[in-house]
Structure 1
Amino acid sequence: MANALLTPSMITREALRIFKNTNLFLRNIDTQYDDSFAKSGAKIGDTLRIRLPNEYVTRTGKVATPQDTVERSVPLTVATQQGVDVAFSSAERALSLDDYSNRILLPAMNTLAGTIATNVMQSVESFSNLTFKGRNADGTGTIATPDAGAWLDAGALLDNTSTPRMNARGNRKAILDPRTQARTVTTLAGLFNNQQKIGDQYKSGEMGMDTLGFDWGMDQTVIKHTNGSYTAGAVAGAGQTGASLTVAATTGTFNKGDVICIAGVFGTNPVTKQSTGELRQFVVTANVASGATTIPIYPSIIPGVVAYGTVTASPANGALITLVGGASTTFRKNFVMDPMAVTMATADLELPRGVHEAYRETYDGVSLRFVTAYDVVNDNFISRFDVLYGWATVRPEWGAAVADIL
């Protein structure tokens, strides 16, 4: 019996299913769909607002001390339109859905998802925690292949920022570069002598689920980061607060995504407001030239027992700054995170008129547009699949990089 011609709705739904399931990283972040553009279609540059959780402080005693609720949000701009285009004959449109999916949609969506994941993966450069085997309390040490202690330390960094251990999207995730995965499976092969997990690792060559507090996975889009050349610098001026740090002219550069510690500046737990007993880590949010006197950082320096407080006290004048991982070091930036640390949002693209077919579909927070036009000269149908998206690191403190030396 001849196969019926595939409809645009069938093709779009199948393409979306493959797109969402083909990339591990995209499966494990928060994906949101904004339906406010459903009729007219969104444009590149439209901005959404992602709301953040509120924080409060407690009181002691019976006298109420009402607090203002300060709503915070992160802007997310749908600034990127990514697509993949294919051409096929009328005969190929008569294939079964399974054949069409395997021959055309699978490679097309795998490429599209991989490209988008590579872009969104840059959000890891905003994570404000970094650890590695051999890291000292002040951030010094030589990066080596992570062992169980390094992964457990990453989990502790998340605990100290009150990162959930589980939410609606599941457990905390650990995403590894293929080379780091190979090394980690070897390092942790006998973990706790759990014979079932050892057997699973032996068969798959991969870390399993729910080990050391994480669900594990490998992703080829894990980035490689190179620290700046910074070797010396100190705080210039006591009592500083906010998202930039004034310093004496630095010796060497900082790259966006570098992580620093400041002597004497200890982190606080967002819930208990108490000191973690460890130096707070700050991520550098933009490139900084050698000799600069200002370093942009996250989180902001907010001292004391207050809502959204981050540190026990502002840095002292002359406090030394340490670049975690060392100057000019290149490493694989594997990471652990809560799925809500990173948000990717998509919006509907406009459906054009005067074409053979045009269709939109949404699935699990992703909107995909499918458009086909007929090429009468070559007797081909030319189709395009498009996603309009943007991303933001909504909670950078809910992620921690785990370095592995190249």
Structure 2
Amino acid sequence: MDQGNTAFILLAAALVLLMTPGLAFFYGGLVKAKSVISMMMMSFGAMGLIGVLWALYGYAIAFPATDAGVTQAPWAIDFNELGLTGVLETPEGAAYPPLAFVAFQATFAIITVALVSGAIADRAKFGSWMVFAFLWSTIVYFPVASWVFNFGLADDGSFSYGGWITKGMQDVFGVGAIDFAGGTAVHINAGAAALALALVLGKRVGFQKGAHAPHNPPFVLLGAGLLWFGWFGFNAGSELAADGTAALAFVNTIIAPAAALLSWLLVEKIKDGKPTSVGAASGAVAGLVAITPACASLDPIWAILLGLLAGAICALAIELKFKLGFDDSLDVVGVHLVGGLLGTLYLGIFARGTGLVESGSFNQLLVQAIAAFAVLIYSFVLAYIIGFAIEKTIGFRVKNEDEIAGIDTIVHGEEGYVLTDAR
């Protein structure tokens, strides 16, 4: 067992887990002061619920045992892995304990579910959100993670991907889709579900451009900083080894969001006359989203270009909700869905070795598009069905009067800011 790589994976897992509290601050600063507790609790609720589900059966669905080089069925479960009983021992010759990988991937499942909550800020019931998180993670995230990330161990000790998005399409097109750290499984998946829930719950009271200003930009900046810090574990950690590929992913995780931050601010300056702190934070996150699938497959110069495109395109994409009339409260669609699509498709052109620029073939672009839109459609349809069923049974949205009054006290009996002591 390689203790260095084991430590690397465990450290990466800790970094990715920190991203969810970081997301709570990022989202919490963007909402009204009277719903900051509600917003942050949806992230912390995901940490509790998905952490338990992952151990009980999530890992068994996402990573059923498969022979190296064999495409895994799109829906499968390994009953030997329920409750993690089948991964407690470290096989002789393994590079690291299986439980290290279990921990690392658990943090991916948690952050993906938490991302969805941004679309329904200011108006969702916490209990209904937890029911949705339970059903969506089980039916959507765990299987999609298997499509993208599942792999087997080859005879030489190397890993061979076995999901249909990777190995399956390689068998058909000669190349598999590239998604190093979760452009499809995490960002497109969460963004599509967010769009579905925004449509199910409808618009906030008084929804219009400029009506819902962020109540705490310092929280937003703090959250973005924590997300960026944790994202090094997300991207570089996905190599599962402290090597040159991890170093490339690490560098690209610095420069792509840096470029995106600048381009988002430039768009703001041109459009509105002033660059904002929320824009800087959002631009960095947009760049992080776009580089996630591509971080190990792009030369740094192309990573910078991707960041510049992501910042500008996502800054413009967040306006879609006003033009199309859906209330994606915290721009999960504009940042995560659009940014995830951009990063995933960009690989079809600029991926090292297999992209159009280097290979002259459109095959990589084709498989990237199939992967992206398959996950988008699957997640959107099922999230809409789950959300609609919850709304029509136990109810998903709070009453309008509760939304106006502020849902922190209604749902949680707490206030984010107590400025006077009434006792």
More helix by share: 2
| TM-score normalised according to structure 2 size | 0.22
| TM-score normalised according to structure 1 size | 0.23
Q: Which has the larger radius of gyration?
A: 1
